[in-house]
Structure formats: C-alpha cells, structure tokens
Chains A and B, each alone.
Chain A
Amino acid sequence: MTIAITQDDIVQGALDAASSPPSVAPPKGQVRKDARRDLGPVLAGNAALGLLGIAFLIPLAWIIVGSFDAKATWGIELPHWTLSNFSAALADGGLRSLGNSLLLSVTASLVSTVVAVMAAYSLVRRRVPWKGPLLLVVLFLSAIPVAIIIVPVYQIYVSLGWLSILPSALFLGVTSLPFEIWLLKNYFELLPVDLEEAAAIERANTYQILRRVVLPLSFPGVAASAIFGFVNAWGSFIVPLVLISPSSQATGPITIFGFMGAADVRYGDIAAFSLMYSVPIFILYGAMSRFFQGGFVLSGGVRG
C-alpha cells in the first residue's frame, strides 16, 4: 500500500505549521506587592461588621440554647439538656399548626406567583395604557402595612363568611403581589425580546411563549418570587390571627403566641417551636442560593 500525499495535504501541513501557537511562557517569579498596605481601615471595618453580626446572632443563639434547656428563661444560659421542649411544643395542635402554615404559605405563594408572572409579563411586553403611573401605584401598594387594611378586610371576610385558612391565603398572596410584580418585571425586562419575537414568528401563542421561552429563562426570578410569597405568608402573624376563626386552623405563629400565657411564658416551648418553624426557611434559602449560583442562563442565546 502506498500513501499518496496530495497537493492539498502539503498545503494543509504548511498551514497547520504556520498557525501553531508560539511557545512563549509569561515571566515567572513576579510577586504581588502592595498587598499589606492600609491595614487599619480594613480592621476597623471588619470589627464593625463583626459586632453587627454578633447582635444578629444573639437571638438565634437563644433559640438554639433555649430549645434544649429544661429550665429555659429569657436569658442565654448553659442548658439543662432535654428534648422534651420539642415534644411539648408539638403537642396540643402544635404539629397541626405546622401543617396549617404549610397549606397557607403554599397556597399564598401559588396565588401570588401565578398572578405576578402574568401581570409582570403583560406590563413588560404589552402596550398597557398609563403603564408608568400604574407601576408606581403598585410600588406604593407594596409599602402599605397590612395592619392598616386588616380591619376593613376583616369586615369584608365576616360578611362573606370567609374567616378560614384558604381565603386568608388568598389575602396573604395579594399582599405579596406588588413586590413580586416588581421583582418579576425587572427580571423579564432583562430577557432579550428577540427570543419571544422568534417564537411569535414560529406561530407560538402567548401561553406557549411564556411556558417554553420566558419561564425557563427567568426561572431564578420566578423561584425567588415564589419563595418571597411563601416566606411572607409563613411568617405572618396578624393576618392569620385576625382572619382565621377556627382554632383547628391556627398557624405556627399563633401557636407560639399561645405559649405565652398570662401567668407564665413557656420559654423552652417557644424556642423549640421557633427552631422547627425556621427549618423550612433555611431549606428554601439554601435552595434559592443554588439557583442563583447557576447564574443567568442566557449565555449563548443571543449576542450583541
């Protein structure tokens, strides 16, 4: 067998040789200087931040210590180790109130996120008359404290016979809407409109564009919005207190409130229940940080 070398091979070989990268290494042994200058301000800054951090950590430390302390008080002491605070906190409807909180928060989050996605998308991509003023109104709404409107809402709910958990979830969902609309609006505005136009040319309808293009690309934003809705309902005290009438539908914060009697305060139960009540929030924030580490998923889709 003979190996025929064609003109092309020769030309290609020469091309390859000409275009191979040069073998030059950067100079070695250069050390970064200036690294130890201006130590004073850095130390002062870190000390201030450390003090602030400790101030935030004290209540958390109390919760952890108190929940394991058989003789818990309002102070932080070396605990008399026990797990009975946990069982005591979950007895007498405590466990059920956790379930109620979950139902309330998931429903509220679902309601607010679905509505906020549609509202934000319309505000970003559609021609909405008075769009600017409308968005400002939404922004102001997010600043109104729930306590101001809770009394009229209570009156409305009484007349409708709605003093129970699901209507309360609806109201809580509405209270987180303004913030979620703004959050999602800012997210959707970052999406290149080309992608949606390309889909529209392919005869995709608005629902298909939302489901196949917009939502997958803005997943971190939608997740953040849903988590905000969940946490907003999960931590709400006054709304379930006023709007939920049956004691069997009481949520977590109401249960904690119940641990504070007129005669004595069950500090150990409060700490144990608070610790358990914080677990879902820790999990959600952990999950959220993973979404955000994934970064913006737009790379490679569009240029320019």
Chain B
Amino acid sequence: MASVRFEGVWKLFGDLPAVAGLDLDIDDGEFVVFVGPSGCGKTTSLRLLAGLERPSYGSIWIDNDDVTRLPPGKRDIAMVFQSYALYPNMTVERNLAFGPTVRREDKRELPSRVHQVASVLGLELLLDRKPAELSGGQRQRVALGRALIRQPRLFLMDEPLSNLDAALRVQMREELVRLHQLLSVTTVYVTHDQVEAMTMGDRVAVMNGGQLLQVGTPDELFENPGDLFVATFVGTPKMNTFSAELTSDRDGSTAIRSLGISVPVTDWQAAQLLQGRTQTPVVGLRPSDLHWEAEASPECKAHLKGVCSMIERLGAESFASVTIGDVVMKARLPRACRVNADEPIDLAFDPADLYFFDPQLGKAIVERPGAAGQKNQELQQNATAIPDIAPSRRMVNQ
C-alpha cells in the first residue's frame, strides 16, 4: 500500500509533450482513474508511474521514495495491460507463478498462493489451460491474477476492460471494485470510458492534450466541471452547450437571453456572473436537467418550445434531439412521453441547473453550491499553469 506523487512530470516524444506538467497526489488506498480521449497522455502517465517510460522532466514518488530513475521491477507494482500480456506458451498456472518464480520467492508456498489467487478469481478449473484456450473474460482474470499474486503496494491498470463485450465489462467493473474494497491497495486505472471512470473511481483525473484538467470525486466533476471539456466529457449523453447573452433589468435582476427566451438566473449565479468579464457566456445544460414540460417540477421556470428531430427509445427512458431555433439539444424524456420525430415538444428546465463557461478560455465561471468546489479551483489553477521549461507549447495550447 502506498501513496503516489507526480511532481511537475513532463514526457516529450520528440517535440510533442505527451504529458505536460503533471502534478498529482494519490492517497494510500485510493482508486484513481485517469480518463480522457485517446492521445490525452493517460496511458503515458501510467507507464511513467510503472517505470516503462522515463519522464523528460519532473519526479515521481511512491510513498517517500523517489522512483523517477528506478527500473519497473524495483517499484513493487503490478500492472494489468490492455492486451493482458499473458505468456501464450505457458499454462494459466505458470502464468500466475511467473512473477514469484523469476523473483526466486519461496517455492514451497507457491502452489498454495497460486490456488488462493485462482480461487478468488474463479480460475481453479482453468489452471492447466493455455491462454489461447480461454475466453476474453477468463484471460482478463488471469491477467488480474498475475497482478494479485504479487501483493504489490500499487496496482496499475491500463484499460483492462476495453477488450471485453459490454455485459462482461459491467460485470468485471463490479468485480474490480469489489477486489479493491477487499484489498484496499492503491490503484491507478486508465480508461477512455467516462462511465467506467465515474462508476469505479474514488477520484477521477480528466486529461486532455497531455494536461491534467481536473481531478475530483465523480460527484465533483459532474457538479462542478472546471471547464467546458470536462463538462462535456463527463456524463452521457453529453452536456448541451449554447451561447447566451447576459442582461440586467432595471429592477436589478439578472437574466440570460438565449434560445429565443430570457431566463432569470438565481442570485448566486448572478453574483458570480456579474463578477466575470464576459457578457456572452457559454451555457451548459445536461440532458437529464432538460425535462418534458408535462412532468417538470415547479422549479423549472424556463420553458422552451422545439421540434423533436430524432428520438432514441431505450425502454425505461428516451433521449430526444430537439431543435430549438438553430440549436439542437439532447433531452432525457420519461417513458410516458410518446413524442415522435418531427413533432413539436415542450421542454422546461430549472435555471439553477445551468452551467456557465467563459467563451474564450472555456473555464467555468460559476461555482455551483453543494459539491466541494474550492479544491477543484486550486487544482485547476495548478494544472493549467505551464512552466517555463516547456520546450514546445504547440500541443499544450491546443
């Protein structure tokens, strides 16, 4: 069990920063998920932590040891690869026993250790098989078993579920979380799937373009995304965004004008919006906060009229694309709403559910109450400050 610290870590491939100034503390026993689109630097960050890559700048600490220059074998970590990396020439049993054997650990204990791990993962009947004779899920378990048998101070997982089918992925997701609760070994998990990140992580680190954009609990990211990228990346379907104009009435009340209507905002929103520099914020509204008017709560004071351009019925609920003026918005509709494509639909939302972003920088300009926002703001600033040592800012600034 261990804590992890990234201190100003950069990794350059030629001129391209794959990881740009990563600062992150991971607590002992925490399950942290790195999430982001492909090429965002999440896997490189994990490989840096594993020792499979050397950072160009900065240092990496595990507990109180500077492991920046330590080879992977000496970091006391276990890693599950996206490809599973099982040795195809060895049986499951020998795959599991590979680590202890090359480390020359006590041979007498080995069979019982192998069987213990196999029983935890339900692999007892497969010990004599070779990887080619296993299903995807079984291979995944063997890869996990190879990590478990080591009893490392750190688990690293690189998209371990991405090769499984959807049903198995959900099952393994639960199993991994259960294992983590059982062993409480610090785990760093990389995925491009934000649902996986949100459901599994104690904390989620969202990366893009080599930078850590925001790190926080799933609730914090959902409630108070630090910028437009995090806001639209977290949550499915992704957040609707549209531009708006800030207006102040003669009686002092503040409203935004957009989508052909004027929406009075709450006092706490107004206070922060007026402090900001922009008069034309980008506004975000999650599909789950855009309600069918017939079932909307009394707080939904803003009303919209649109035309349903497409509807996806999932059974329990539906997702509709609704054209309002020149904006297409996604809305989550209840089962009772039987609207069809090309039919008009009335929607409503609560102004308190709106998110506001700076149109130039994309940063959030209104802090929403409820979640622990303060911490986010600090991390936000740290993460986006680009040190002078950067040899190339091309990628970073994009």
Contacts and interface: CB of A to CB of B under 8 A. Distances in A.
* A-B complex is real: yes
Interface of A: 192, 194-195, 197-205, 208, 212-213, 216-217, 297-304
B134 A300 contact: yes
Contact of A195 (B85, B133, B136): B85
Contacts of B136: 303
Contact of A194 (B78, B83, B98): B83
Given A197-B50, A203-B102, 19 more contacts: A195-B85, A198-B79, A198-B85, A199-B98, A200-B52, A201-B72, A201-B77, A203-B99, A203-B103, A204-B98, A217-B87, A217-B89, A298-B88, A299-B88, A301-B85, A301-B87, A302-B85, A304-B82, A304-B83
A192 B79 CA distance: 16
B84 interface: yes
B71 A200 contact: yes
A301 B86 contact: yes
Given A198-B81, A201-B78, A300 B52 contact: no
30 contacts: A192-B83, A194-B81, A195-B85, A195-B87, A197-B52, A197-B81, A198-B85, A198-B146, A200-B73, A201-B52, A201-B72, A202-B98, A202-B102, A203-B99, A204-B98, A212-B87, A212-B102, A213-B87, A216-B89, A297-B88, A300-B130, A300-B131, A300-B134, A301-B88, A301-B132, A302-B84, A302-B88, A303-B139, A304-B82, A304-B163
A200 to B, nearest CB: 5
B88 A217 contact: yes
Interface in B85-100: 85-89, 98-99
A42 B136 CA distance: 44
B163 A303 contact: yes
B103 A202 contact: yes
B238 interface: no
Contact of A301 (B50, B75, B131): B131
B98 A302 contact: no
Contacts of A304: 82-83, 162-163
A197 B130 CA distance: 20
The majority secondary structure among interface residues of chain B is loop
Contacts of A205: 73, 102
A205 B52 CA distance: 14
A299 B51 CA distance: 27
B245 to A, nearest CB: 48
Nearest to B129: A300
Contacts, number: 95
A78 B99 CA distance: 66
B143 to A, nearest CB: 9
Contacts of B113: none
B99 A202 contact: yes
Nearest to B94: A212
Given A299-B132, A303-B163, A203 B88 contact: no
Contacts of A192: 83, 85
A244 to B, nearest CB: 40
B145 to A, nearest CB: 13
Contacts of A303: 83-84, 136, 139, 163
Contact of B86 (A203, A208, A302): A302
B108 interface: no
Contacts of B169: none
B74 interface: yes
B150 interface: yes
A300 B84 CA distance: 9
A201 B163 CA distance: 22
Nearest to B139: A300
A201 B73 contact: yes
A195 B95 CA distance: 11
Contact of A302 (B79, B83, B103, B162): B83
Contacts of A298: 88
A236 B273 CA distance: 87
Contacts of B87: 195, 212-213, 216-217, 301
A193 to B, nearest CB: 9
B85 A197 contact: yes
Nearest to B82: A304
A45 B350 CA distance: 79
A212 B163 contact: no
Contacts of B130: 300
A194 B73 contact: no
A199 B103 CA distance: 11
Contacts of A208: 102
B102 A300 contact: no
Nearest to A197: B52
B88 A202 contact: no
Nearest to A219: B89
B136 to A, nearest CB: 7
A200 B50 CA distance: 10
Given A202-B150, A301-B84, A304-B82, A197 B89 contact: no
